[in-house]
Amino acid sequence: MDNEGMRSPLGRALGLGSARTGVEQWWRERVSALALVPLTVWFAASLMVHTGSDYATFIAWLRTPIVSILMVLLLAGIFYHTALGLQVVIEDYFHSGLKTLALLGMRFGCCGLAVAGILATLRIAFGR
């Protein structure tokens, strides 16, 4: 379908409407949501099982290879999905120059938290 042909002359003149990149973000949000369904359910169930566990038991569990792998995937998935979701929220409610600032802060925050969480997991996994 010819994208330019679908736009109104006014919309084209003002540079409004789809620039063919909106669908991509929509898909990324859905794909990450689908990945997070089993990952978050696994994590919630694991936390329930470990309610009464002491530090040593909890660390021993986190150090098992499959748990470390799932934990890194969970953290990457959570902050990827969070960044995409919060982007939509910010774009909906911020209309001034604050929008760019909020988007930047949110993305930097998500990246920083993802790295901190993954690094903590790896420190536990590869620690003594």
Residue 116 binds another protein (CB under 8 A) = yes
Residue 12 binds another protein (CB under 8 A) = no
Tokens 């089993």 -> residue: 38
- Using CB under 8 A, pick the residue from 3, 12, 17, 30 that binds another protein: 30
Q: CA 73 from chain center: how many Å?
A: 11
Residue 23 binds another protein (CB under 8 A) = no
| CA separation, residue 8 to residues 13, 23, 93, 107, 124 (Å) | 9, 20, 25, 33, 57
Residue 103: count of CB within 10 angstroms of its CB: 16
Contacts of 61 (CB under 8 A, 6+ apart): 46, 50, 53, 67
Residue 86 binds another protein (CB under 8 A) = yes
Choices 1-9, 17-25, 53-61, 97-105; region in contact with another protein by CB under 8 A: 53-61
Site residues for another protein per CB under 8 A: 14, 16, 30, 33-34, 37, 40-41, 44, 47-49, 51-52, 55, 58-59, 62, 75, 78-79, 82, 85-86, 89, 113, 116-117, 119-121, 123-124, 127
